[in-house]
A and B are shown apart, each in its own frame.
Chain A
């Protein structure tokens, strides 16, 4: 069987859906954060797949690869800031359960 673009898109779509479902369903902030990273990984896989199957003069379109590296870098920065905020929250509330982070209500 030959691998086609559709196979890659299917896998990345599944990854994205799993990540999104995790963000919506899970209650632990750290797990939610991992699921967010999964969504970014899905986007990266899509980019690479499209670039591999979209040949420009016989070469993959490398623009997408550049975006991919930027996504990885930005995700790292986001994790650094995000974990710091989660740690600060844990110090004051001693929990990472999102259902307990609800002092502000309508």
Chain B
């Protein structure tokens, strides 16, 4: 089927969920989430039936890139991520109901839960569209579809001050980054006289381009993308927003929003990197940004006591590795060398698996222990060996221990930096990875070698759907750690 049908199907799925919520008088609204999970599962399978169009003439293809393996991979990531977020949201339902309940007599006991399941589906459609966006207008609109949905979701717990505060911070900084993005787009249009990425690429490569104005546009766009990716020094919102947002939404933000930032960055930065008058300065800026992000993210994570804040800084650190791959575009094309796009896509795939696994454990625990402090994880292996093991697998992969997906992600990023001769990046990356070992494994050690706190020795039960999702993620992490070629082949 034509590739753009998929976005239509996802939007229709979201609308159907809203309509069922409005008119079907469901007793238990969690069945809406199950409907969403089922629908997204079908869309994921449909991704494999996409046909490559023979001709790409016509208005649509000005806005929408013809499907290539990279955009299909990102669409798959978006669907898989949303699906797992819905699994987490089912687990998280009691908290949402408690924080959004309608106190009026006669109101549905789960009033306001339906949108919590439907909105991620709309964000998913935006993410999928973004993977194919080929024109400044369509990049802008798809990015904003995702951002505005996220503003609502972050502030969703309307009786919880933390969630509202996170929502306001995300809103202000998100809108600020939108301002930078559109101003950057305006200048990019002014410099190149076009809105289509292929034409922009051509115009930037021309000698005699106004380099100052082009660099100004690049800086504005990079600031905006830095916000979305969580690159230092634009990462200041990340810890607060991650801590305050509902846990499933934190997971969605850390994977979905980062994937969105990365795919837009890949598409918007590559014309600048391909332009001979600009490439030197653009690379230098990217290298500085990558080094800062690697160091700030990983070193600031060391003293964290709240697990969501720790994962927030860790996500900043992982953005550093993504930027490292983007900054080290090969100087001359080596045979068999991976392109930055492949490395970024592989890294994001691995990051999705391990981060969502960690957040699945977190949201299962949130139902029994209210705290998110690291002390709540002491002796977890005695309360639930399964959850503890799942968290260890995820932490091992995040730290980059061999035979996990995360190891190859980091390895490919390091290899890119070596091939490009970026030694400063390499040193920063090594320091970052070393710090990562400490703070990820600290959690693992406290789960296995400490006794649980007094009065919290009860065993923890795991919902079967969640347990199944965790097992699948663990298998995928280890499989990608043994045979990274499986994922790399999807990308070529």
Contact = CB atoms under 8 A, between A and B. Distances in A.
Given A32-B172, A85-B168, A86-B168, A70 B141 contact: yes
A1 interface: no
6 contacts: A36-B179, A63-B137, A67-B189, A85-B167, A104-B165, A104-B244
B137 A101 contact: no
Interface residues on A, range: 35 or more
Contacts of A44: 182, 186
Interface stretch (B154-162, B328-336, B437-445): B154-162
B239 A67 contact: no
B168 A89 contact: yes
Chain A CB count within 10 A is highest, among B144, B168, B193, for B168
Interface in B16-48: none
A56 B194 CA distance: 11
Interface in A53-94: 54, 56, 61, 63-64, 66-67, 70-71, 74, 77-78, 81-82, 85-86, 88-89, 92-93
A105 to B, nearest CB: 9
Contact of A103 (B137, B148, B161, B176): B161
B259 interface: no
Contacts of A82: 151, 171, 175
B140 A71 contact: yes
Interface residues of B, number: 41
Contacts of B244: 104
Nearest to A73: B141
A43 B140 contact: no
Contact of B148 (A19, A40, A56, A77): A77
Nearest to A5: B190
Contact of A67 (B167, B193, B195, B240): B195
A50 B168 contact: no
Interface in B150-201: 151-152, 155, 158-159, 161-162, 164-169, 171-172, 175-176, 178-180, 182-183, 185-187, 189-190, 193-195
A30 to B, nearest CB: 11
A81 B172 contact: no
Contacts of A40: 178-179, 182
Contacts of A36: 172, 175-176, 178-179
B243 interface: yes
Contacts of A89: 164-165, 167-168
Given A40-B178, A85-B167, A89-B164, A64 B148 contact: no
Contacts of A43: 179, 182-183, 185-186
Given A50-B186, A101-B165, A88 B158 contact: yes
Contacts of B183: 16, 39, 42-43, 46
A-B pairs, top 9 by smallest CB distance, nearest first, are: A39-B179, A46-B186, A50-B190, A43-B182, A43-B183, A63-B195, A36-B175, A47-B186, A74-B144
A63 B168 contact: no
B189 A93 contact: no
Contact of B190 (A23, A54, A71): A54
Nearest to A66: B137
B362 interface: no
B136 interface: yes
Q: Say what secondary structure dominates the interface of chain B.
A: helix
Contacts of A66: 137
A61 B193 contact: yes
A59 to B, nearest CB: 13
Interface of B: 136-137, 140-141, 144, 148, 151-152, 155, 158-159, 161-162, 164-169, 171-172, 175-176, 178-180, 182-183, 185-187, 189-190, 193-195, 239-240, 243-244, 309
Interface of A: 16, 19-20, 23, 29, 32-33, 36, 39-40, 42-44, 46-47, 50-51, 54, 56, 61, 63-64, 66-67, 70-71, 74, 77-78, 81-82, 85-86, 88-89, 92-93, 98, 101-104, 106
Contact of A85 (B137, B151, B182, B189): B151
- Residue of B140, B165, B166 contacting most chain A CB atoms (<10 Å): B165
Nearest to A51: B189
Contacts of B169: 101
A78 to B, nearest CB: 6
A76 B162 CA distance: 26
Nearest to B174: A78
A78 B148 contact: yes
Contact of B165 (A19, A42, A47, A103): A103
Contacts of A71: 140, 182
A95 to B, nearest CB: 11
Nearest to B175: A36
B164 A74 contact: no
A47 B168 contact: no
A60 B259 CA distance: 36
Nearest to A67: B137
Nearest to A64: B189
A35 B195 CA distance: 27
A39 to B, nearest CB: 3
A92 B164 contact: yes
A84 to B, nearest CB: 8
B468 to A, nearest CB: 34
Contacts of B158: 88, 92
A47 B184 CA distance: 10
